[in-house]
Structure formats: C-alpha cells, structure tokens
Amino acid sequence: MESDGFIIIPARNEEENIVSVIDGILHLGLFKPSQIIIVNNASTDNTAAIAKHKGVTVVDEPRLGYGNACLAGIRCIQGIAKWILIMDADGSDDPTDLLNLFKIFHDSDVDLLIGSRVLGFAERGSLGFIQKYGNWLTCFLIFLFYRRRFTDLGPLRMIRLSALKSMQLRDTTWGWNIEMQIRAIQENLKILEIPVSYRKRKYGVSKISGTLPMAIRVGVKILFTFFKLTMLPPKKS
C-alpha cells in the first residue's frame, strides 16, 4: 500500500479491544505499523501502552472528545499524508471492509468515501434504537435541506487531505462526522457511500449507546451541529 496514507483510530479506554483492531488491520498487509495512528483520548486504562507494544504510532490527546482525537491524529501527519482513513477502536468496524474501501478510493476521484452500515450489514445489537432513529432523522434532514442522499453517519470513512483542508472542520466532540458530511456538501466535494459491516463490540460499553442519557446527549449534539452549519455556514478564511 502507498505510504502516503494513514489510519487514524481515536481510542478511549479500549485496552480489551485495541489489539484485535490493530491485528485485523495488519493482517491485511496494507499498512506498516507506523501508518496506524492510535489517538489515546484521555484513557485511564492501558490502551496507550498496549498500542505502543504493538509498534503502532500513539498520539496523546488529553482533551476529551471524538473531534479532538481526530484533529490530534490529523495534526501529526500534516504535510506527509495525502489521505486518511478513520475507524473506531472498539472492533465494531470490520477490517476486511478496508480492502474494498481502498480499491474504490484509489480507483476513483472521490474526495470523501463513507462506509454505510445501512447499505451493508449491522449485526443485531450493534446499534441502539436511538442511534438508528437519530441516524435516519439526520439523513432525512440532510436530504430535506440539501437534496443530498445519505444513509449513514458511520465512523468508517476515507478522505483526501486536500478536501479535509477545504472543509475547515472545527467540531471537537460528537458533531465531527455530521460536520464533515455537511461541509463536504457545502464545498461541492465528490462524496460516495459504500456498504460496510458493523459488529457488536466484544468488550466494554459503547461511548455513544452505552447509556440512555449519553445516547440522547450525542443525538442532540448531532442535530445542533446540523442546524448550526445549515443556518450559519462558516465563512471561508
């Protein structure tokens, strides 16, 4: 695999899952360990130490937030990467889907490639009711306001760094994915969804759907981000 791309994996307290995620990626033979970036997002367990032992790149981001973690990973590869892939650290994303993502991404001129769990297969119990409903509602709102069809706001995605720079993403928490998709539309970027699989995590509790209050909080944040970007689109710098 070309050395101008990196996988960024935000991770908070995933010591029981991180090894299988890293091994699943390395087994594909697409990346060197140094091209896998684990962003340790204020973990209180051994996530960082375990990842370092596997020989991958570990970046510390003490400020909580999914967006903060993604931005920290991006900062460390600025100037050396042409594209990145972002995936979860809990083992929900199937590493074998990366083969198809890479092929489509490199054989096309798409700017943003999103893995859709709706078009693909989501294992029973991998997505909570609020996640499913919130996902549907947000995608419906995107179509209503922008006439652009999405089926998912899933975490597994590839993007060119040139496109990412034009988006000027700022969200530091759970609005990161919806901000990326809205900004991609506003910047007239080429976007494509493809089917992917989604699995139940083996260990631990989901940071999003693990508790009802958190699931509601995340959903509200996503909707707030949507309306903020739609009603008050950012000015070009």
At residue 3, the pLDDT reads 64
Work out the average pLDDT over 85-108: 96
Long-range CB contacts (< 8 A, 24+ apart) of 226-231? 226/138, 226/141, 226/142, 226/178, 226/182, 229/178, 229/179, 229/182, 229/183, 229/186, 230/145, 230/182
Work out the average pLDDT over 4-24: 97
User: What CATH code is carried by the domain that includes residue 21?
Assistant: 3.90.550.10
Q: In degrees, to the nearest 5, what angle opens at C-alpha 34 toward C-alphas 23 and 9? A: 60
pLDDT tens-digit series, residues 129-186: 888 988 999 999 999 999 999 999 999 999 999 999 999 999 999 999 999 999 999 9
At residue 137, the pLDDT reads 95
The answer to whether residue 181 sits within a structural domain is yes
Query: Does residue 235 surpass a pLDDT of 80?
Result: no
At residue 208, the pLDDT reads 63
The answer to whether residue 236 sits within a structural domain is no
Query: Does residue 210 surpass a pLDDT of 70?
Result: no
At residue 16, the pLDDT reads 96
Tokens of 139: 């995608």
Residue 101: give the domain boundaries: 5-231
Task: Yes or no: say if 192 and 112 are a contact pair by the CB < 8 Å rule.
Answer: yes
11: confidence class by pLDDT, cuts 50, 70, 90: very high
At residue 32, the pLDDT reads 94
201: confidence class by pLDDT, cuts 50, 70, 90: confident
The answer to whether residue 195 sits within a structural domain is yes
Q: Residue 93 has what DSSP assignment?
A: B
Burial of 29 (0-12, 13-18, 19+ CB in 10 A): exposed
Average pLDDT, the chain: 93
Task: Yes or no: say if 231 and 183 are a contact pair by the CB < 8 Å rule.
Answer: no
Number of domains in the chain: 1
Burial of 78 (0-12, 13-18, 19+ CB in 10 A): exposed
At residue 130, the pLDDT reads 83
The answer to whether residue 237 sits within a structural domain is no
Length of the chain: 237
Work out the average pLDDT over 211-222: 83
Task: Yes or no: say if 30 and 216 are a contact pair by the CB < 8 Å rule.
Answer: no
